[in-house]
Structures are given as structure tokens and as C-alpha cells.
Chain A
């Protein structure tokens, strides 16, 4: 869903740039209060892994493909604030080094691919978890639901933004229907990939999954934290 240069007029691009700058600033503030020493490399990994997964286009209909957005995945793994920043880093590398997503469309892409999927995904994840039993299987299911929901919501927002500030005058209704229609299919792939990755991480290191933190017994978390200090990492004081 990477928006290239030229799709949006200057005012909309600048407006989206300001919204994304605000979202990134707020995410940086929240990330500062959430980042522990061991979360730093994990957050870097989430960005790198999403970057890799975004290259894997899968066919969704005749002559059309889709790929993971990864905002919901990142939110479940490291929380929506750090997850949003992970996606903003992915988009920056793609725009600057791969010409995937326009440089003048960076703000639009941050809104559509970082902010909306991370926070809509996290909201859907929390809602689904509240309705499901407290189990690791429920974390995987809720991740898939969150991933599925996040994609058509972002696609619908593209249609709204394009109606407001698109560089070409086309019918809002038909763009909306086409975008949501194809991205409902992309969302199925998003759900399957997200569920598979979350399932693998929950099975190996549930303590590293933000969305499964309540399922890890507190003594285990404390032991991990003690291990962090014993491992020579300074500054991690736990009462």
C-alpha cells in the first residue's frame, strides 16, 4: 500500500507530514518510558523482520498481490508506540534506499502504514483478548484478528484522504469499494502471517511479547530481569 510521490497534492502531503511528525514525537516520548535495555535490540529486530516480511508479496486475486503491513504484528510484539516507530523506520529505509513509497509521501505512508495499523491493530488486539480466555492460543487468535482489521481500515483511510487531497479527481465511492475490497483479501494474508509469527515467538519467548505479558508469571519476569543485571547490563534497577 506504499503511496508513491505524485498521488497527493502538496497541502495534503504536508498535512499528513505534520500529523505523522506529531505521532512520531508522541511515540518517542512513550517509547522512552517503555524501553528497557533488552527491548532495544528486540525493537530493532521487529523493524528488520517487518522489512523482510513486507518484501514477500503473495497473490490475492487475478493479477493482484498483497504484502504484510506489519503494524499490528509490531504492536503485539513491542506495543503500539514502539511498534509505530519500528514501522516509521521501515518506511524511511524503503523510501530512501528502495524508492518504495515516495519521499514526499512519507507522511502519508507513516499515517497509513505505521500509525493506523499499529494503533487500530493494538485496539483490536486488546478488544479480542478481553473477549477470549487468557491463554497463549488467544494471544495468537487476537493477533490474527488485529492484523485482519488493520488492513482494510488503512485502505479505507487512503480512499478518504485521496478524496480530500488526491491529485486526480476520481469517484470516492468506487475508490473506497475497490481499496477495501482488495484489502479485505490482503488482510487474510496479514492475519495468517501475523498469527504464525506471534505463535512462534509466544512458543519460544512469551516474555518478549508485549501482548502476552499478563500470561508470563511475575517470578519468571523477575528472574529474567535479575538475569539482565547479572548479565552485566547496568542501570536496570528493579524494586
Chain B
């Protein structure tokens, strides 16, 4: 990764954390589209949560969620990348670079 791409990712992560910390407390707490439709159409009571966790998350939990999502994504995509590189190495073919065309 180039240094500027690294800066881009870092800056993007900081913006995401800023949104989670500073903007999400201002978010509407009204029911979302599906919740509203469930209320009006009479199937909201069918909701039966199997896990016990705070619904929208606390002020601390929200930025932590952003970082956890980043970490899980890095782990998943990093693993996919490493597995492919190993498969390519064992089959003797060079690691192909994705084509530049859209």
C-alpha cells in the first residue's frame, strides 16, 4: 500500500469514528421504515430477540463498533489475500494483478 493510500484509510477511519462519536447522538430515534411498517401492519410483536444487547449501542459502544468492524474486515480480507497468494505460490503461477478495466 502506498503511503498516501495509508493516509486515506486512516483519515477515513477517523471520519467514521467522528460520525459515530459526534453525529450519531443526533440521529433520529424514531422507528425505522421496517419497524414502522411492522407496527402499522400488526407484526411488530413477532420480534423476539435471541441475544441481549443494547439496541442502538451506547456512546462508547458505537465507535468501538466502528473499530471492531474495521478489524473483522481486515482479518477477513487479509486472510482471503494470504490464502490466494499461497495457492498461487504452490501452483507455481505468479499472483495475478486485477485488470485495470472496469
Measured in the bound complex, the distance between the Cα atoms of B55 and A214 in whole Å is 42
List which B47-65 residues lie within 8 A (CB) of chain A.
47-57, 61-62, 65
Q: Are B80 and A31 neighbours in the complex by a CB distance under 8 Å?
A: yes
- Using CB atoms, name the residue of chain B closest to A184: B33
Residue of B whose beta carbon sits closest to that of A214? B102
Cβ of B35 to closest chain A Cβ, rounded Å? 8
A48 at interface by CB-CB < 8 Å: yes
Q: Give chain B residues whose Cβ lies under 8 Å from the Cβ of A179.
A: 33-34, 37
Asked if residues B46 and A168 are in contact (CB atoms below 8 Å), the reply is yes
Residue numbers in A under 8 Å from B84 (CB-CB): 32-33, 35
Which residue of chain A lies nearest to B83 when distances are taken between CB atoms in the complex?
A32
* A222 to chain B: closest residue by CB: B100
| A224 to B97 alpha-carbon distance, docked (Å) | 13
A-B contact list, 16 entries, CB within 8 Å: A5-B48, A32-B84, A36-B98, A38-B2, A42-B9, A44-B73, A49-B15, A55-B27, A65-B28, A85-B77, A96-B51, A97-B61, A99-B52, A155-B33, A205-B4, A236-B95
Chain B neighbourhood of A233, CB < 8 A = 1
Q: Which of B9-31 contact A (CB under 8 A)?
A: 9, 12-13, 15-17, 19-20, 23-24, 27-31
Closest B residue to A158 using CB positions: B34
A150 → B minimal CB distance (Å):
14
- In the complex, are the beta carbons of A213 and B72 less than 8 A apart? no
Interface residues of B (CB under 8 A from A): 1-6, 8-9, 12-13, 15-17, 19-20, 23-24, 27-34, 36-38, 40-43, 46-57, 61-62, 65-74, 76-78, 80-81, 83-85, 94-98, 100-102
Of the residues A45, A58, A86, A182, contact of B36 by C-beta under 8 Å = A182
Contact between A238 and B74 (Cβ–Cβ < 8 Å)? no
Q: Which residues of B contact A98 (CB under 8 A)?
A: 53-57, 61, 65
B37 engages A175 (CB within 8 Å): yes
In the complex, the 10 A-B pairs of residues with the closest C-beta atoms, listed nearest first: A6-B48, A44-B73, A99-B53, A48-B70, A65-B28, A168-B43, A47-B73, A52-B16, A4-B47, A38-B1
A227 near B2 with CB under 8 A, answer yes
Q: Which chain A residue shows the least CB distance to B16?
A: A52
Other-chain contact of B65, A63, A97, A167, A210 (Cβ < 8 Å):
A97
CB neighbours of B55 from chain A (8 A): 98-100
Q: Which of A2, A6, A36, A89 contacts B69 (CB 8 A)?
A: A89
Whether A4 contacts B49 in the complex (CB less than 8 A), given A53-B19, A57-B30, comes out as: yes
